[in-house]
Amino acid sequence: MASTRRERHRDRDGGWRRDDVQEAPATDRVFRIADAERQAIADSLRFIDDARRTLEQQQNPDNREIIRELRASADRIFDVVNGLEEIAAREEREP
């Protein structure tokens, strides 16, 4: 196949893209979580805890770091969900 020596679209500079701009997330955003979403998160946390317990029962020293990270991850997720609940409760109290 002969080359036309023309510049192809994919060879051009992409220019500005929306994803190129890094904006800081707003800190005053409020999120609501539905009961179904909360239940899905609770199920995921149970899955994480079950996996952690299974690894702990194996008593393999190589799993210590994984167990620590599973516990820390579950704790962080739980804290975030509790924070969302507080936001909703605070809004409901304020007229």
Q: What average pLDDT does the chain have?
A: 76
Is residue 8, in this structure, part of any structural domain at all?
A: no
Ranges of beta strands (E only) in the chain are none
66-90 pLDDT tens trace: 999 999 999 988 888 877 755 545 5
Confidence (pLDDT) at 72 = 92
Which pLDDT band, with edges at 50, 70 and 90, does 14 fall under?
low
Give the pLDDT of residue 10.
56
Name the residue with higher pLDDT: 31 or 34.
Answer: 34
Whether the pLDDT of residue 50 is over 90: the answer is yes
**How many domains does the chain contain in total?**
1
- In a domain, residue 86? The reply is yes
- CB of 40 within 8 A of CB of 65? no
**Does residue 22 contact residue 54 with C-beta atoms inside 8 Å?**
no
What's this model's pTM, rounded to 2 decimal places? Answer: 0.54
Q: Does residue 2 form part of some domain?
A: no
**54 in a domain, yes or no?**
yes
CB distance 31 to 82 below 8 Å: no
Evaluate whether residue 12 is within a structural domain: no
Please report whether residue 73 resides in a domain. Answer: yes
Please indicate, yes or no, if residue 44 is contained in any of the structural domains. Answer: yes
Which residue segment(s) compose the domain that 44 sits in? 30-93
Q: Given phi > 0 = left and psi -120 to 50 = alpha, else beta, which region is 5?
A: left
